[in-house]
Amino acid sequence: MGASKDAVKGFLMSTVKRVLLLCLLMFPLANLAHAQGKLNVVASTEDLGAIATEVGGDRITVESIARGYQDPHFVEAKPSFILKLQKADLLIVVGRELEIGWLPPLINQSRNAKVQVGGPGYLDASMQARILDLPTGQVTRAMGDVHPLGNPHYWLDPENGKLIAKSIAAKLEELRPNDKAVFEQRLADFTTRLDAAEKRWLAQLAPYKGVKVVTYHRSYPNFAERFGLDVIGYVEPRPGIPPTPQHTLDLIGEMKRQNVKAVMVEPYFDLKTPNAIGRETGAQVLVVPPSVGGVKEITDYFKLFDYDVNLIANALKQSTGK
């Protein structure tokens, strides 16, 4: 009797062990991350990923979904992204409905309670930032693909970069209270370095304050505001609507009247229309990456501004002679 009980117990134990072993085998990646104690951070864009890396350092691993040279409005909700979200401890989003076309189905299918909207591992980076183009009055789709919650390209202002870093640090501290001092120190360091760099960038573009430019999409209002550029028009007749011949002609007329020197284009737009506008008006067509990863050499948040500010300053130096 006792022997058979032992046999049953032994069988049960070995079964439980097998099941546990199977479970361990089934979640190898999740366990690896937990063993190292690193937070798995997934950012919807490379910009947020870069800022998260600045704040989190070696205490976190960061993966980004949208590539910097890709239109962040139109990312495909590939199942491979579901796997990234499944393992995430923290999901950082740009918000302001930038990702509305692709992120919700990924979150829904992630099987991860932490990163659901409003969950402990969900952070909307726009909540502290300075948001421009908040619509006043009625919003309709007759205006094109407008963002009713304001312009989501807000990270292109170093001041907002600091605010984004601050909210990321607060979230990381909430998730890993033991590492609070590390995050605080890294945030302070990032802010100091960004302050110094911002002074340099402002000085570089200071001679061109008030220079009139045209951009393809409304991706640069925060950049223009910070560095004193005056955006007088857009290649798109309305947000998200491709250029029309009549609008292009009107824009060329307006640019000639106002002596516009540069057309800023995001790397994911076709250059045919901007080049035609450039030929007609003599303005320079500049492919200005709005994101980290927009070109190979932009590997972090500082290099994003280094690249863009250099590009614009050099172009305006030639055309204005200042």
One residue of 37, 135, 207, 242 binding other proteins per CB under 8 A: 242
Is 157:133 a contact under the CB 8 Å cutoff? no
Q: Does 116 bind other proteins (CB under 8 A)?
A: yes
Rounded to a whole number of angstroms, the minimum distance from the CB of residue 189 to other proteins is: 33
Strand order in the sheet with 60-66: 60-66, 39-45, 90-93, 122-124
Question: Which residues 28-87 are close enough to bind other proteins by CB under 8 A?
Answer: 28-29, 67, 69-71, 74, 76-80, 82-83, 86
Is 52:168 a contact under the CB 8 Å cutoff? yes
Rounded to a whole number of angstroms, the minimum distance from the CB of residue 6 to other proteins is: 32
Q: Does 112 bind other proteins (CB under 8 A)?
A: yes
Rounded to a whole number of angstroms, the minimum distance from the CB of residue 187 to other proteins is: 30
Span from 126-134, 140-148, 207-215, 227-235 in contact with other proteins (CB under 8 A): 140-148
Q: Distance of alpha carbon 95 from its chain centroid, rounded? A: 9
Span from 39-47, 94-102, 188-196, 252-260 in contact with other proteins (CB under 8 A): 94-102
Rounded to a whole number of angstroms, the minimum distance from the CB of residue 8 to other proteins is: 27
If we measure between CA atoms, which residue out of 293, 278, 292, 287 comes closest to residue 312? 287
DSSP strands (E only) in 50-157: 60-66, 90-93, 122-124
One residue of 9, 10, 16, 27 binding other proteins per CB under 8 A: 27
In residues, how long is the chain? 322
Nearer to other proteins, 185 or 244 (CB): 244
Contact residues for 16 (Cβ-Cβ < 8 A; gap 6+): none
CB-based burial label for 319 (10 Å; 0-12, 13-18, 19+) = middle
Q: Does 287 bind other proteins (CB under 8 A)?
A: no
Tell me the two tokens of residue 65.
């979904």
**Phi-psi region for residue 177, left (φ > 0), alpha (ψ -120 to 50) or beta?**
alpha
Nearer to other proteins, 116 or 299 (CB): 116
Size of the site for other proteins (CB under 8 A): 43
Q: Which residues bind other proteins (CB under 8 A)?
A: 26-29, 67, 69-71, 74, 76-80, 82-83, 86, 100-105, 107-113, 116-118, 141, 144-145, 240-242, 267-270
